Amino acid sequence: MSTNEEHFHWPPSDPKVVKEELISSTKRGGGFIKKSIWVLSLLSILGIVGLLGKLFLESNDQTQWGYIAAILAFILSTASGAPMVAVAPLIAKANWARPISRIAHIIGVVGIVNIIIMIPLLWVLPPLVVEGARRRSIWFEAPNYSPHFWDTLSLIMLAIVGVALLYSSALPDFATIRDNSSGTKKRIAGFLARGFVGSTVQWSTLRMRIGMMSTFYFFTLIFVHTLISIDLSLSMVPGWRDAIYPMAHAMGGIQGGIASVIIVAWIVRKYFGYENYITINQFWALGRLMFAASLMWIYFFYSAFIVFWYGRSMSDTAWLDLLIRGPMMYVFILGMLFSFIFPWWWLIWNKVRNSVNGPFYGAILAILGVFFERVRLYVPAWSVDPSLIHDKWLKVIPKTLFPDIWDILVLVGAVSSVFLIVMIVSRIVPFIGVWEIQQFNLLAKPVKYIKAHGVRVAKPD
């Protein structure tokens, strides 16, 4: 229960008004959206040009590909982490997440971007065995190109589950759009709705399919983080042995996912006029999750760091020289500041968390932190001389590698393509689930206790 007047914003109770207001998000901003789609498409093409340029000019030099691997890990850790924001509250039956769960699902369909970036990386990722020596990895005696095949397949699987999750949750809304639009949109929605009429069996299976797909997404995401973090960074550095690293990588991905949802929710709320749907309650809850994720980040980092710091073996010292005080020392400092210090110090204040803008600024800080962290981890790992990759520990620390024009193009293109996909999907899928808000209204009622406002929520499932 909340006594704060600001928390007392509520979606309209009339289902017809809710339907019209939410479906309108697929039509709003016609001219602006079209221009944006054109600009983002051009920038995405530039990204592909960057990938091709890199592939044709630098495919014989593995050490130049660290930024591309970092960009892949960055998209995986931000956009692909977003659906977790809808998955966790669903498991906990939390009502507050209903208005933002669709946003999380929409961001999650950008898995295709990772697959595109992975394709050229397959050319430069070294096989497990070179000149008779096998590098240390999780693949033990597996065939030479196991990481190439299984990592790509895992990214494809994540993309499939992301699309299936969005489709599952959006199916009833396709039926609503089919019944309330005309022309091409009606035809597309009709095709996607597959004859959904809201019968008992259809609603009953809806609950189950969203639950199942959410579970699959969680299992797949964690698995993909494990594979990508080990195959594209840890196993590239001789002597880097860290059992916590895949978990820390996944944790950074959840932090990035929360930040992505906060940013998109803030934009949708502000520019689509959904103040009554996405309220301070959602930002308050997301701000707390964000704060917890920042604390988890430092916990995982320190748990790994203390072992290397105290161990002081040759390989431990090499790890410190490469990833902490070496070529990416300034990026490490930036990563520490933006992943933990700034978001922690910002979100520690209840007044900041308990606002709409506070968590948004915290999310921007955290997303920058995720980027710096991925650069810090992947660029030095790929900079290691390939002839040293099978050594017991790293004896030659590579120099700082700065991004070239192709890296910058790929970064711009990858981020643009994420926004492009979100924008294109939002033309047919409402940013806020119509049926989820109708259910929100059905199950939750604003009540007044003497002078305080509160919400009474039913949890019948």
Q: Residue type for 197, please?
A: V
277 binds other proteins (CB under 8 A): no
DSSP string, 396-451: SPPPP----HHHHHHHHHHHHHHHHHHHHHTTTS-SS-HHHHHHHHHHEEEEEETT
Nearer to other proteins, 30 or 195 (CB): 195
* Minimum separation from the CB atom of position 149 to other proteins (A): 9
Q: Is 203 in the site for other proteins (CB under 8 A)?
A: yes
The reply on whether position 196 binds other proteins by CB under 8 A is yes
Given 204, 350, 357, 400, the residue binding other proteins (CB under 8 A): 204
Nearest to 65 by CA among 75, 53, 77, 78: 53
Q: Phi and psi for 243 in degrees, rounded to 5?
A: -70, -25
Residue 339 buriedness (CB in 10 A; 0-12 / 13-18 / 19+): buried
Let me know how long the chain is.
461
Nearer to other proteins, 192 or 286 (CB): 192
Among 26, 154, 294, 354, binds other proteins (CB under 8 A): 154
Q: How far is the CB of 108 from other proteins (least distance, A)?
A: 14
- Identify which of residues 86 and 280 has a Cβ nearer to other proteins in the complex: 86
How far is CA 147 from each of CA 144, 150, 295, rounded to the nearest angstrom?
8, 5, 32
C-alpha–C-alpha distance, residues 165 and 212, integer Å: 9
Site for other proteins in 49-108 (CB under 8 A): none
Q: Which of residues 323-382 bind other proteins (CB under 8 A)?
A: none
Contact range with other proteins by CB under 8 A, out of 189-197, 351-359, 368-376, 396-404: 189-197
Q: Which stretch binds other proteins (CB under 8 A): 65-73, 108-116, 134-142, 245-253?
A: 134-142
SS3 content of the chain, % helix, strand, coil (to 5): 70, 5, 25
CB 299 within 8 A of CB 261: no
398's torsion region: left (phi>0), alpha (psi -120 to 50) or beta? beta
CB of 378 to other proteins, least distance (A): 21
Instruction: State which of positions 214-243 bind other proteins (CB under 8 A).
Output: 216, 219-220, 223, 227
CB neighbour class for 274 (10 Å; exposed up to 12, middle 13-18, buried from 19): buried
385 binds other proteins (CB under 8 A): no
Q: Please choose, out of 175-183, 253-261, 369-377, 446-454, the segment that lies near other proteins by the rule CB under 8 A.
A: 175-183
**Shortest Å, Cβ 177 to other proteins:** 9
Among 197, 310, 448, 450, binds other proteins (CB under 8 A): 197
Our finding on whether 442 is near other proteins (CB under 8 A) is: yes
Candidate segments 11-19, 233-241, 264-272, 331-339, binder of other proteins by CB under 8 A: 11-19
- Contact between 457 and other proteins per CB under 8 A: no
- The residue written with tokens 């009554």 in the block is 276
Judged by CB under 8 A, the residue of 194, 325, 392, 399 near other proteins is: 194
HSE-CB of 352 using CA atoms within 13 angstroms:
18
Binding of residue 250 to other proteins (CB under 8 A): no
Pull the structure tokens for residue 358: 């506070």
Q: Is 245 in the site for other proteins (CB under 8 A)?
A: no
As a whole number of angstroms, the distance between CA 234 and CA 249 comes to: 11
Asked whether the CA dihedral 27, 31, 35, 36 is positive or negative, the reply is negative
Residues that bind other proteins (CB under 8 A): 14-16, 19, 138-143, 146, 150, 153-154, 157, 160-161, 164, 168, 171-172, 175-176, 179-180, 194-209, 212-213, 216, 219-220, 223, 227, 434-435, 438-439, 442, 458, 460-461
